[in-house]
Chains A and B, each alone.
Chain A
Amino acid sequence: MPKAPLSRIAHGRSGDKGNHANVAVIAYTDAGFAWLRENLTAEVVAAYFAPLKPSRVERFEAANVRGLNFMLYDALAGGASRSLRIDTQGKTYARALLRMVVDVPADLANGHA
């Protein structure tokens, strides 16, 4: 199977809830959503964001918009009020997740750039 960044399959947006980040990933197609649902598990996302030391990662589904929403608990080093990071609110985390290179079926890899 070809390798492609998740951004071929999905777009998304991320933000903060106190010290937690939410990262929403939204598939461009039904086939893409089916693939994400099967492969982009909470465990995979937790491993990817492990350097941020989230206490846990939880996945929610919003199939109506072909979306998966990941909560990265305690991942913001204190959040908007006291984090020392430049990105106190996790605004760049969706972009980061969509850089993940994955093995996908060829028809998906050739999807949205």
Chain B
Amino acid sequence: MKRVRIGNGCGFWGDNLDAPIQLAKSGNLDYLTLEYLAELTMSILAVQKQKDATAGYAHDFIDVLGRLAPILTHQPRLKVITNAGGMNPRACAAKAREVLTKDGLAGTRIGIVSGDDLMPGLDNLMTSGHTLNHLDTGEPLSSIRDRVVSANAYLGAEPIAQALKRGARIVITGRVADASLTVGPAAFELGYGFGQADLDRLAAATVAGHLIECGAQATGGLWMNADDSTHLEKVGYPIAEIAEDATFSISKPPETGGAVNIETVSEQLLYEVADPARYFTPDVTADFTTVRLTQAVPDVVAVTGCAANGITDSYKVSIAYRDGFMSAGTLVIAGPNAAAKARCSGVILLEKLRQAGFTYAATNVEALGAGDCVPGVVATKDDPPEVVLRVAVRDPHRAAVERFTKEFAPLVTSGFAGTTGYTTGRPPVREVFAYWPALIAKSAVTSFVEVV
């Protein structure tokens, strides 16, 4: 039976830089996928592109590609699929071309998938009835239109499969659904189409893509029963081996740390899922409740029973809009009564700002170490010897937030005994890009595939 081996070496922008190299070397892969785009990444990239027309993509990928070049030379069948293109897939491809040429891979064909960026035609879309209402509140986008910095449809696997069909070895996309990075090559290699008849197979590839999209989270990362014997310091990244009969396995390269078992795969199956019977992607609505997991051999889990639950006629759209500024700083407060003193220190800090004429749209004081990761839920009984005081503010006025960052240091001398930890200086101020999820009819969005 025909099978395709797809490994994911990057679960988010910021993931381990050596993982893609290690996975490509020892994973015996047909495809390496690299996922860089979280919900907010696009807004940051959009602002970068506004300042510099050649920026706006995940530049980590370029460094990784340079290190992958000898492996690509050594493994002529290995292909790479990535959403590193971000807001500027063409610029990312141009830079990738430079790297490949320098490393003796001049003839490599690069596929570019775009069309996800709705900003150029956003007003036309809105005047033609695509109101892009907020998925939760129902509010129309027009209420914040002037603050929008990015609007991207999550494209599906079809343009990726097209790029492969046209001979691409490296496929660079903008925003696509994370699982589609896996579904694209599976569909191309295993001969799936994208019609009704293919939905169960697309669902299987989607489950596979969902399981590997967060990298090591399928292979022992975040596993609740991990301990020092799990050897997360050498954790292997996940591989989905997908067969044409809509079954697949999850594994990791030999001689690596981590674990692939029913627990690690079950935890990841339900990660960032709402209704597990309806996992919406542009390719298919997958039903996670029919999936059967079996431990085939150690560190290999077989997955069968994947089924579709229909397909929708809309794409999800991720919109980001300017929403003021925020900053968060920390100090350490030693006890006794560290938690109470830390919270009081936070109140003092905000009160001094009030006296100086600064108030904020939102503030938050946390005593970390005393249960405030889940405030009010995880009660503390003991008196920890020290806690981290964290104070955060958000406000439309940058100057007010700038002023806030200067109020931590004074507490080192004017606060409680046992205050320390002011070694990293004033905390940075960052612009807030708030998230506006919406849906748009697939018919209103056109994806583009170039192979260069």
Interface residues of A (CB under 8 A from B): 7, 11-13, 15-20, 22, 24, 26, 48-52, 60-67, 69, 71, 73-74, 77-82, 84-87, 92-96, 98-99, 112
B273 near A69 (CB under 8 angstroms)?
A: yes
Alpha-carbon separation in the docked complex, A94 to B288 (Å) = 20
Specify which chain A residues have a CB less than 8 angstroms from the CB of B373 in the assembled complex.
85-87, 92, 96
Specify which chain A residues have a CB less than 8 angstroms from the CB of B343 in the assembled complex.
none
B222 near A82 (CB under 8 angstroms)?
A: no
Alpha-carbon separation in the docked complex, A78 to B388 (Å) = 22
A69 near B270 (CB under 8 angstroms)?
A: yes
A64 near B270 (CB under 8 angstroms)?
A: no
The answer to whether the Cβ of B392 comes within 8 Å of any Cβ in the partner chain is yes
B266 near A65 (CB under 8 angstroms)?
A: yes
B271 near A13 (CB under 8 angstroms)?
A: yes
Alpha-carbon separation in the docked complex, A69 to B279 (Å) = 13
Specify which chain B residues have a CB less than 8 angstroms from the CB of A95 in the assembled complex.
224
B434 near A24 (CB under 8 angstroms)?
A: no
A13 near B432 (CB under 8 angstroms)?
A: no
A60 near B374 (CB under 8 angstroms)?
A: no
Q: Which of B289, B368, B374 touches A93 (beta carbons < 8 Å)?
A: B374
A81 near B270 (CB under 8 angstroms)?
A: no
A96 near B328 (CB under 8 angstroms)?
A: no
Specify which chain B residues have a CB less than 8 angstroms from the CB of A71 in the assembled complex.
274
Q: 6 closest pairs, A vs B, by CB?
A: A51-B376, A24-B270, A84-B364, A84-B392, A11-B224, A13-B267
Alpha-carbon separation in the docked complex, A81 to B267 (Å) = 25
A82 near B394 (CB under 8 angstroms)?
A: yes
Closest residue of chain A to B225 (Cβ to Cβ) is A11
Closest residue of chain A to B135 (Cβ to Cβ) is A18
B374 near A22 (CB under 8 angstroms)?
A: no
B326 near A84 (CB under 8 angstroms)?
A: yes
Given A22-B270, A51-B375, A99-B378, A12 and B224 touching (CB < 8 A)?
Answer: yes
Interface membership of chain B positions 7-18, coded 1 if the CB is closer than 8 angstroms to chain A and 0 otherwise? 000000000000
Given A19-B136, A65-B270, A81 and B434 touching (CB < 8 A)?
Answer: yes
Give 13 pairs: A residue, B residue, CB < 8 Å, sorted on A.
A12-B267, A13-B224, A18-B136, A49-B377, A65-B266, A67-B270, A67-B276, A69-B274, A81-B320, A81-B435, A82-B323, A85-B375, A94-B224
Alpha-carbon separation in the docked complex, A18 to B274 (Å) = 11
Alpha-carbon separation in the docked complex, A51 to B366 (Å) = 14
The answer to whether the Cβ of B272 comes within 8 Å of any Cβ in the partner chain is yes
Specify which chain B residues have a CB less than 8 angstroms from the CB of A80 in the assembled complex.
38-40, 435
The answer to whether the Cβ of B269 comes within 8 Å of any Cβ in the partner chain is yes
Specify which chain B residues have a CB less than 8 angstroms from the CB of A87 in the assembled complex.
373-374
Given A18-B435, A19-B136, A92-B373, A13 and B270 touching (CB < 8 A)?
Answer: yes
Which of B114-122, B166-174, B242-250, B290-298 is the interface stretch?
Answer: B290-298
B289 near A26 (CB under 8 angstroms)?
A: no
Alpha-carbon separation in the docked complex, A17 to B293 (Å) = 25
Given contacts A15-B271, A24-B267, A64-B291, 8 further A-B pairs with CB under 8 A are A12-B224, A26-B266, A62-B289, A65-B262, A81-B40, A84-B363, A85-B364, A96-B377
How far is the CB of B448 from the nearest CB of chain A, in Å?
28
CB neighbors of A among B218-238 (8 A): 222, 224-225
Specify which chain B residues have a CB less than 8 angstroms from the CB of A17 in the assembled complex.
272, 274
Alpha-carbon separation in the docked complex, A79 to B366 (Å) = 17
Specify which chain A residues have a CB less than 8 angstroms from the CB of B277 in the assembled complex.
60
B276 near A60 (CB under 8 angstroms)?
A: yes
The answer to whether the Cβ of B63 comes within 8 Å of any Cβ in the partner chain is no
